Amino acid sequence: MGRPVDLATAAAKLARFASRLTENIGEIATSPELQARVDRLAGQVGPHGVDPFGFDPDYLKKYLGFAVWIYRHYFRCEVRGVEQIPDGRCLLVANHSGQLPFDAAMITLAAFLEREPPRFFRSMIERFVPNTPFVSVFMARCGQILGTPENCLRLLRAEEGLLVFPEGVRGLNKTWKDRYRLQEFGQGFMRLAIETETPVVPVAVVGAEEQAPALLNLPSVGGLFGMPAFPVTPTNPLVPVVGLLPYPVKYRIYFGAPLRFGGDANDEDEVILGKVQEVRATIQRMLDDGVAAREHVFW
Amino acid sequence: MRILLTGIAGRLGRRAAHRLRRHHQVIGIDPRPCPALPTDVIHHRVDIRRRPAEDVFRQGEIDAVVHLGVVHNFRIPAERLYARNVIGTETLLKYVSKYGIKKLVLLSSGDAYGPMPTNSHFIDEDAPLMGSQHFPEIRTLVAVDRTVQSFFWRHPDIETVILRPVHIVGPNVRNAPSKYFRLRVIPTILGFDPMVQLIHEDDLLRLVEAALQPGVRGVFNLSSTEPVPLSRILKILAKPTLPVPHPLFRLFLEKAWKYRLTSFPAPELDHIRYNTVLDTTRAREVLKADPERTLYEILEPFRSEDADYVS
């Protein structure tokens, strides 16, 4: 007897929540402060509203409201050290985790929302993205580019900022037992940094590991869907699709002091690897400190 | 300067003759008829591969060769296209070195790089020519470019120039991009919006002329415009668009091409699917090729008649 009534009130509650949410997002999106920040990026854009790589600040405005809502109200990002990001060419090097790359968006937003003046970092998209309808356009208009060495060199020489995850999917799709343990780093970023004399800013993200704790990963199952991984979390695949959405953990993003590297970009692997390890050790230390300092995963 | 122009009977060739004759003496060579040429332009109706073509070089005291005669018609059977483009170019190169001609300008194409999802965003002149990997019909165009590149290295005394323009458009050209923009309803690929560059036919000819200047040599990417998303171009055209999912579009074009219902070969679809953005820094620095026309001016002849003027 009571069931239909309960359903109705639940639906009404849900609808109220949804309308409050959209209202909230709309408020954020149209806030003059946010609009002004986006407009401050517009200097790099040509007469047709895009930069040569396809980045379109007006397009960004449409989706930024939702992203900022996630940043402020869902993950409630706490940011330290954002003032350490220098002007001009810059590489943000971060740990990668959480099955879905929300960490990339949150780091980018941190540098965009908290830094003065705002900077919009580009991250490197995977090779399958340019082949994917809609996603390819979305990524390009948001300033993301394919991670080829030529693209990176060109952007750094143009004094732009890049966000890289040297762990790649190894970090993104690692399982619970490896949480906050950095996986092997690629060397590409270090050769780029040396060649272009770009400062490397180490970034540690604490919280993203718990947004989707993977008990195990079945890449062969993921292959069936054309994805590099298939994480089994407490909710995925029990609740399909929704089960993969991140839990409302609290994000803590730490920016470290810029590291500068000299030498020869075409040096032996061992020499480059030594410098890569220096960055990796710094990020691992920042991660350990961050994990030790937090009192709770969710707040 | 006495200039030998191959492919003079083509639309671009005729326009090039009219432009070049203002400052140079123009001799054309093309087996096709070419009416309405200015009287001071000599036209030899001969195929470059035939023996009488050599007489043109022997008698002509030619200073420069502008090679516009590379055929892009993919309805021509592969072996004939090969003979005309590759053998034709090799014969031409033989005469250029034999008769001591000091300058050779080849009109190649930016298509030689090929639109591919794995391309770096900007393609410079050193990038590999992968165009025929997914579009085998253009392999003779790529072969011509490579042949002239090796000629460049083998003959340091001859100033060899290879021009690789982006999509050439204009009121007089009838190539795939111009025909695409002339459609009344413009189909696009659902969920894709690549960055596109265009070059106006007259900008191209201005650059051909610039390439004839003494001292200019090497490969040049050419464009009139900065890259913009295809959707911006279609907005300026103010024509209705029809987004079609790629597999469906490709299947349709393959069938339509087979039954001669379309002039667009299916692999051309990659041009409205993936970025091909050429880095034109070199041309800007060496040829002093600052864009003369805006995107609006270039697109004006293709715009819907009932469109408001935008600027």
pLDDT 10s per residue in chain A (299 long)?
456 668 888 889 889 989 988 888 888 888 888 888 888 887 778 888 899 999 999 898 888 999 999 999 999 999 999 999 999 999 999 999 998 889 999 999 999 999 989 999 999 888 888 888 999 999 999 999 998 999 999 999 999 999 999 998 888 888 999 999 999 999 999 999 999 999 999 999 999 999 988 888 888 888 787 777 888 888 888 887 788 889 999 999 999 999 999 989 888 999 999 999 999 999 999 999 999 998 888 87
Residue B153, C-beta contacts closer than 8 angstroms, at least 6 positions apart = none
Q: Name which of A136, A152, A156 to mutate to probe chain B: the one with the most chain B Cβ atoms within 10 A of its Cβ.
A: A136
CB contact under 8 A, A50 and B228: yes
The shortest C-alpha distance from B232 to chain A (Å) reads 8
Please count the other Cβ atoms lying within 10 Å of the Cβ belonging to residue A209. Answer: 25
Please indicate if any CB of chain A lies within 8 Å of the CB of B115: no
Q: Is the pLDDT of residue B311 over 50?
A: no
pLDDT, residue B307, reads 64
pLDDT, residue B122, reads 95
- Chain A residue with CA closest to B127: the answer is A150
Distance CA B201, CA B169 (A): 6
Task: Please return the burial class of A156, using the count of CB atoms within 10 Å of its CB with bins 0-12, 13-18 and 19+.
Answer: buried
Please indicate if any CB of chain A lies within 8 Å of the CB of B39: no
Q: Above pLDDT 70, what percent of chain B? A: 98
CB contact under 8 A, B118 and A146: yes
Nearest-5° angle of CA B200, CA B234, CA B115? 70
Q: Name which of A51, A132, A150, A155 to mutate to probe chain B: the one with the most chain B Cβ atoms within 10 A of its Cβ.
A: A150
Distance CA B286, CA B88 (A): 29
Please indicate if any CB of chain A lies within 8 Å of the CB of B248: no
Coil, strand, or helix at residue A292?
helix
User: pLDDT-derived band of residue B190, with 50, 70 and 90 as boundaries?
Assistant: very high
CB contact under 8 A, B227 and A140: no
The CA-based diameter of chain A, rounded to the nearest angstrom, is 77
- Exposure string for B51-83, b = 16+ CB within 10 A, e = fewer: eebbebbeebebbbbbbbbbbbebebeeeebee
Cα–Cα distances in Å, from A132 out to B78, B113, B117, B130?
A: 33, 21, 10, 21
Please count the other Cβ atoms lying within 10 Å of the Cβ belonging to residue A223. Answer: 12
Coil, strand, or helix at residue B157?
coil
Least reliable range by pLDDT among A169-173, B233-237, B253-257, B279-283: A169-173
The shortest C-alpha distance from B176 to chain A (Å) reads 23
Nearest-5° angle of CA B237, CA B243, CA B245? 150
Distance CA A177, CA B169 (A): 59
Q: Is the pLDDT of residue B291 over 80?
A: no
List CB contacts (< 8 A) between A50 and chain B.
Answer: 195, 228-229, 232
**Which runs of E-coded beta strand occur in chain B?**
2-6, 25-29, 42-44, 64-67, 103-107, 122-123, 159-165, 167-169, 186-189, 195-196, 198-200, 218-222, 228-229, 241-244, 277-278
Q: Which of B145, B166, B289, B159 is nearest to B213 (CA)?
A: B159
Distance CA B265, CA B254 (A): 7
Q: Are B151 and B93 in contact (CB under 8 A)?
A: yes
List CB contacts (< 8 A) between A137 and chain B.
Answer: 191-193
List CB contacts (< 8 A) between B277 and chain A.
Answer: 52
CB contact under 8 A, B295 and A131: no
Q: Are A175 and A234 in contact (CB under 8 A)?
A: no
pLDDT, residue A2, reads 52
Q: Which of B113, B74, B79 is nearest to B253 (CA)?
A: B74
Q: What are phi and psi of B127, to 5 degrees?
A: -65, 150
Please indicate if any CB of chain A lies within 8 Å of the CB of B285: no
Task: Tally C-beta pairs within 8 A across A and B.
Answer: 67
CB contact under 8 A, A130 and B229: no
pLDDT, residue A3, reads 63
CB contact under 8 A, A130 and B118: yes
Q: Are B109 and B83 in contact (CB under 8 A)?
A: no
Coil, strand, or helix at residue B263?
coil
Residue B134, C-beta contacts closer than 8 angstroms, at least 6 positions apart = B114, B116, B267, B270
User: pLDDT-derived band of residue B306, with 50, 70 and 90 as boundaries?
Assistant: low
List CB contacts (< 8 A) between A140 and chain B.
Answer: 193, 195
Structural element, H or E, at residue A90: strand A90-94
Q: Which of B171, B291, B280, B311 is nearest to B225 (CA)?
A: B291
The shortest C-alpha distance from B172 to chain A (Å) reads 26
CB contact under 8 A, B121 and A50: no
pLDDT, residue A47, reads 83
Cα–Cα distances in Å, from B281 out to A102, A143, A225, B229?
A: 37, 22, 42, 20
Cis-peptide into A237, omega within 30 deg: yes
Cα–Cα distances in Å, from A148 out to A50, A89, A275, B23, B285?
A: 21, 17, 21, 45, 26
pTM over 0.80: yes
Please count the other Cβ atoms lying within 10 Å of the Cβ belonging to residue B271. Answer: 22
Please indicate if any CB of chain A lies within 8 Å of the CB of B243: no
* Chain A residues within 8 Å of chain B (Cβ atoms): 46, 48-50, 52-54, 56, 127, 130-137, 140-141, 145-146, 148, 150-151, 154
CB contact under 8 A, A148 and B295: no
Least reliable range by pLDDT among A224-228, B101-105, B158-162, B228-232: A224-228
A161-164 and A122-125 as β-strands: parallel, antiparallel, unpaired? Answer: parallel
Here the contacts of A180-188 (C-beta below 8 Å, separation 24 or greater) are A180/A95, A180/A97, A180/A206, A180/A209, A180/A287, A180/A288, A180/A291, A181/A284, A182/A95, A182/A280, A182/A283, A182/A284, A182/A287, A185/A276, A185/A277, A185/A279, A185/A280, A187/A269, A187/A272, A187/A273, A187/A276, A188/A149, A188/A152
List CB contacts (< 8 A) between A126 and chain B.
Answer: none
Q: What are phi and psi of B269, to 5 degrees?
A: -55, -30
Nearest-5° angle of CA A94, CA A99, CA A102? 55
pLDDT, residue A61, reads 87
The 10s digit of each residue's pLDDT in B126-181 is 999 999 888 988 999 999 999 999 999 999 999 999 999 999 999 999 899 999 99
Q: Is the pLDDT of residue B18 over 70?
A: yes
Q: Name which of B113, B116, B189, B193 to mutate to probe chain A: the one with the most chain A Cβ atoms within 10 A of its Cβ.
A: B193
Cα–Cα distances in Å, from A231 out to A172, A214, A235, A297, B134?
A: 10, 5, 10, 20, 35
Please indicate if any CB of chain A lies within 8 Å of the CB of B246: yes
Residue A96, C-beta contacts closer than 8 angstroms, at least 6 positions apart = A103, A104, A165, A167, A168, A169, A171, A172
Q: Is the pLDDT of residue B183 over 50?
A: yes
Q: Which of A146, A45, A124, A108 is nearest to B194 (CA)?
A: A146
Query: Which of B121, B227, B295 lies closest to A145 in CB terms?
Result: B121
Nearest-5° angle of CA B142, CA B143, CA B147? 120
**Structure-token pair, residue A295:** 């009192």
pLDDT, residue B35, reads 86
Token look-up 């200073």 returns B63
